[in-house]
Structure 1
Amino acid sequence: MNQSVFRLTLPILFGYLPLGMAFGVLFSTQLDYAWWAAPLMGFVIYAGAGQILAVSLLAVNAGLLEVFIAMFVLNARHL
């Protein structure tokens, strides 16, 4: 990998690290899922706001359809 390109992307990395840690803390403290579910959500859901929304909705026992619709509406802003 080109070292200069890596250095240019470091600010983005340092911006995403706290968001990922916040998601992991919320997921592990509010939900009773297996440990591997948090990294799986990180790979499947490509939206930080969607991950936080999913944790909030799953914490109040919302159904998966409700979670899907809410995340669709949240991410529809990008359309």
Structure 2
Amino acid sequence: MNNPLMMLLQAAQGGGDPIQILSQLAGNDPMMAQALKMVQGKTPDQLRRMAENMARERGTSPEAILRGLGIRS
């Protein structure tokens, strides 16, 4: 599996550590390194608000994004 987003989702769903995957990907991808910096040290509530704000800026919602990925929330 080469899709970083799906790797992160599977880690989160399986009780794994998505930050560990981000750390591995950050070494090869500057965008992943930026994403890692954005999420490190944040609480789950802060991450939720960040995701909601980013989705809203793009004219969508986190729920719509999950549905588009075939994930039921």
What TM-score, normalized to structure 1? Answer: 0.31
Higher relative contact order (CA 8 A, sep 6+): 1
If the length of structure 2 is used for normalisation, what is the TM-score?
A: 0.32
Based on CA coordinates, which of the two structures has the bigger radius of gyration?
1
Higher helix share: 1
